[in-house]
Amino acid sequence: MTGTTLRVGIGYDVHRLERGLPLTLGGVALAHDKGPRAHSDGDVLAHAIGDALLGAAGLGDLGAHFPDSDPKWRGASSLVLLETIAERMREQGYAIVNVDASLVAEAPRIAPHVAAMREALGQALGISETRVSVKATTNEGLGALGREEGIAAWAVALVEGRV
C-alpha cells in the first residue's frame, strides 16, 4: 500500500483547581481566582490536543515526551509542548489536518476567549486557526468539575501521513 492515510487520535486531560494559581487555556491567560495544580502551566486544552495528536500518529502520550520528572518542563508553556509535538510529527511524516476540542468548566466563561485560543493553538501547531475548533460546556454543577474543583478537556485530532 502506498500514498497517504488518515489517522484519528483522542486526548483527555484534567487538573485540580486551586485558589491563587494562574489559569491558562488554549495558550490564553484568563482572569480567574483558581488555576490548575500542574508540573507545566496546566493548560488542559493544549494537553488534550497534544495527546490526541500523539495518539493519532502512534507516538505515545504527553507523559512519555514531557515527563513531570524532568525539571526542563516545570512551568513550561503548553504552547511550547504543542510546537514540539507538531515538529516531531512532521519529522515522522505526519501533517495535522484538524483538531476539535471541548473544555469542561463551570467558570470562567470561555466563549469570549475562543477566537484567541484558536489563533494561539493554530500558531503553535503550524496550522490555520480555521482547522482548530474550541468549544466549552459546563458539568451542570455535577461532580468535582461541577463543584469547580477541577477543569477538563477532550480533544480529537485528524492527521495525514505516509503509509
Work out the average pLDDT over 65-91: 89
CB 14 within 8 A of CB 25: no
Q: How confident is the model at residue 1 (pLDDT cuts 50, 70, 90)?
A: very low
- The SS3 of residue 153 is strand
Higher-confidence residue: 128 or 66? 128
* pLDDT above 70 for 163: no
CATH number of 103's domain: 3.30.1330.50
| Structural domain range at position 153 | 4-162
At residue 2, the pLDDT reads 60
pLDDT of the residue at 155: 98
* pTM tops 0.75, yes or no: yes
Provide the number of structural domains found in the chain: 1
Average pLDDT over the chain, rounded to whole? 94
Average of pLDDT values for 139-158?
A: 96
Mean pLDDT across 35-62? 94
Percent of the chain residues past pLDDT 70, beyond the cut: 98
pLDDT of 84 > 60? The answer is: yes
- Mean per-residue pLDDT for 51-59? 96
Torsion region of 111: left, alpha or beta (phi above 0 gives left; psi -120 to 50 gives alpha): alpha
Rounded distance between C-alpha atoms, residue 89 and residue 159, angstroms:
9
pLDDT band at 39 (very low <50, low <70, confident <90, very high): confident
Run of H or E residues at 64: helix 62-65
